[in-house]
Amino acid sequence: MPSYMLDTDIASYVMNRSSMRVLQTLQMIAVGDACISAITRSELEYGVEVSPRHKKIGDPWRYFYGISQY
């Protein structure tokens, strides 16, 4: 069972690579120890769809491969 559940803000930082502190912290956590909720996933999907950078973002889930969804 994962030890960490990433909220929408933290997941957004990961997708946008906008916080080096968050990225460095997550690099110290095993992939199986982090997850996102179904609500966070839905919020991120909506955010990507309405973003003017939609095409540039590409596959937003490439940052979360191996992270469980609960």
Least confident of 1-5, 38-42, 52-56: 52-56
What integer pLDDT is reported at residue 63 of this predicted model? 63
Pairing mode of beta strands 68-69, 34-36: parallel
Chain-centroid distance, C-alpha 29: 14
Model confidence over 23-38: pLDDT tens digits? 899 889 987 888 889 8
The kind and range of the H/E element at 47 are helix 38-50
The pTM of this model reads: 0.70
| Number of domains within the chain | 1
**34-36 β-sheet, strand order:** 4-6, 34-36, 68-69
Contact status, residue 22 vs residue 13, Cβ threshold 8 Å: yes
| pLDDT of residue 61 exceeding 70 | no
Dist CA 5 CA 48 (whole Å): 20
Residue 12 confidence class, pLDDT cut points 50, 70, 90: confident
Tell me the residue range of the domain where 11 lies: 4-69
